[in-house]
Structure 1
């Protein structure tokens, strides 16, 4: 049986984060949504997504297929309901299609907005990711679920006795290293993946996850619910942020109530505001409506898409959205919406020349010897550049 994770309309409301990946490739908690489903179902997976993404995120249709909404985070109840689906049966939650089981004959005609004859209604609560802020907003819940999923029945590797561990929900994989640090699990679990490093003088409050090959620099302060993805280097002060991977915030500065994509770099002393001076609810730029959208949140900081960069002392105002490949620098506060492939700051933006941006990306990825800037990734960025051209012309 093939597990196929599909994009629905959430793909559009999650922009710019989903320009470069399917919805199910979003990281929330410890794992990506796709990795969660693989663990729960003990199965491989593929993606039903935008045509320009399929080369990197391929689709694999077999004789028996279950299409699952990639915006849905699994739990034991929804997994059981999906596993009990018969051929041609669909499962809905309110107005959202959750899953449908189709034979190979009909799988090629799958439509995420289609109606299916034999539908069942799921009436338990679900974690569904619809907007960028949902990622940090629901990260606490998913961190706790993933911690249990990954550590159930297992024993933590030992770490140095120079550390102070408060509480019992601490787990380190083999190869995790830490010295002279404080880990408090009173408010939530802490997970250190294999080959991670937490340097001296760091203080961490759970829930928190540090994914493989990432480093936390000396004297860093981290509050829950925070996730640092693989191959990152993090310093300064971090609160309720999700950094997906291959990203650097290596120096002092505050990052809070935020989502940072892959291959991003935050210059020294970069700060984001996460609370307005008048304490009113925060609005975020919305791609489908091309206008500011009410989040209903009092705390909402930075949303930064893949390959975006900012220079030293950058000041991001409350509720700032930075598009794919943008390069931000200079004094003052840049606007709350920075279009994809933009170059500049508070004094104004121009288009970031595509060839220049690609040269920089090639150099950045080349620093990771196990990763290559391959044709599939180049074609994705080429398409995103074209798709976002109208936004830069306004």
Structure 2
């Protein structure tokens, strides 16, 4: 039995975050959406996604296949209903295909649109990630759900007595290290994955997750609901942010109501605004309309796609969207739409030369011995470069 997470039109409204991954590879809570489904259904998973992503995110078809919408986060009720689907049956919510069960022959010709007619109606609420801001907005609920999923029936490892833990919803995996820190789980759970490090003087308020091999530097201040993905190094002040993995914010500076992709680096004293001076709602650049979309949110900070970088003292205005492999530097506020493969700052941008960008990316990968900047990774970035040259 195979679980296949498929992309629908949410893939386009989630750009630029989904230029480099399927929708179900988005991290929200502790796990990615795909990892959530895999654990709930106790099965391996694969992806139905854009052709240029398939070398890294292949689809695996078996004789029995559950195609599940990659923008939908699982819950116990939804998992139970999907598990009971018979071959050929589908469920929809408001004309959105949630899931369909298919044999091998039908799976090979799968397309989301053809299963809307005659599908079963699902009438309960689901958490669906359609826009970038949905990630930090829903992170509180997903942190709590993932914490319960990962810690059910288990006992936390013991951490040093030099720490102060307030509340009961605290869990540390084996190998997690912390000294002289404060963990307040009164407002939400706190999860420290294996081989994480929380350095002296750090204060954390849940809900919060620190994923494997990541570090919080000395004196870091973290407010919920925040997730730090694997292999990150974080310092300064962080509030309601999701940092996916392999990214660094190693120095002072504020990051709030934000999503930061993989392989990003925020230079020392990089700050983002998350509230406009006139307290009006925040608009974000939308790739589907090539214009600004009103989020309806008063608090909305930075959306940064994979491989983007900011120089020292960079200031991001409220509701800034930074594209894939953009390199931002210099004084003043850059525009709130920073294109993919852009090079520059408040005085303007030029195209970040592809070969130069790849040289930098190769050096960044080389810092992680277990990751290789292979042909699949290179081809994804080359395709994104070509797709976005005229945007």
Alpha carbons 1:89, 1:117 under 8 Å: kept: no
**Within 5 A, what are the aligned runs for 1:110-125?**
110-125=110-125
**Within 5 A, what are the aligned runs for 1:61-72?**
61-72=61-72
Equivalent residue number for residue 188 of structure 1: 188
Alpha carbons 1:185, 1:206 under 8 Å: kept: yes
Map Cα deviations across residues 301-328 of structure 1 (whole Å, 9 max, x no partner). 0000000000000000000000000000
User: Is the partner of 1:288 in helix, strand or coil?
Assistant: coil
Q: Which moved more, 1:101-110 or 1:222-231?
A: 101-110
Equivalent residue number for residue 366 of structure 1: 366
Alpha carbons 2:95, 2:116 under 8 Å: kept: no
Consecutive aligned runs of 4 or more in structure 1 exceeding 4 Å deviation: none
2:291 equivalent to 1:295: no
Q: CA deviation at 1:117?
A: 4.8
Equivalent residue number for residue 326 of structure 2: 326
Q: CA deviation at 1:13?
A: 0.1
* In structure 1, C-alpha distance between the alignment counterparts of 2:318 and 2:309, rounded to whole Å: 18
Equivalent residue number for residue 40 of structure 1: 40
Equivalent residue number for residue 134 of structure 2: 134
Q: CA deviation at 1:116?
A: 4.4
Unmatched segments (≥5 aa) in structure 2: none
Q: Which moved more, 1:167-176 or 1:106-115?
A: 106-115
Alpha carbons 1:88, 1:118 under 8 Å: kept: no
Equivalent residue number for residue 272 of structure 1: 272
2:293 equivalent to 1:312: no
Alpha carbons 1:156, 1:170 under 8 Å: kept: yes
Equivalent residue number for residue 221 of structure 1: 221
Q: Which moved more, 1:115-124 or 1:183-192?
A: 115-124
Q: CA deviation at 1:115?
A: 3.5
Q: Which moved more, 1:242-251 or 1:62-71?
A: 62-71
User: Is the partner of 1:261 in helix, strand or coil?
Assistant: strand
Map Cα deviations across residues 265-305 of structure 1 (whole Å, 9 max, x no partner). 00000000000000000000000000000101000000000
**Within 5 A, what are the aligned runs for 1:84-163?**
84-163=84-163
* In structure 1, C-alpha distance between the alignment counterparts of 2:155 and 2:102, rounded to whole Å: 40
Alpha carbons 2:92, 2:116 under 8 Å: kept: no
Q: CA deviation at 1:118?
A: 3.9
Q: CA deviation at 1:63?
A: 1.3
Across the aligned residues of Structure 1 and Structure 2, the Cα RMSD in angstroms comes to: 0.6
Q: CA deviation at 1:370?
A: 0.7
* In structure 2, C-alpha distance between the alignment counterparts of 1:95 and 1:272, rounded to whole Å: 37
Alpha carbons 1:199, 1:218 under 8 Å: kept: yes
Q: CA deviation at 1:219?
A: 0.3
* In structure 1, C-alpha distance between the alignment counterparts of 2:145 and 2:270, rounded to whole Å: 31
**Within 5 A, what are the aligned runs for 1:256-267?**
256-267=256-267
* In structure 1, C-alpha distance between the alignment counterparts of 2:259 and 2:324, rounded to whole Å: 13
Map Cα deviations across residues 166-204 of structure 1 (whole Å, 9 max, x no partner). 000000000000000000001000000000000000000
* In structure 2, C-alpha distance between the alignment counterparts of 1:114 and 1:319, rounded to whole Å: 36
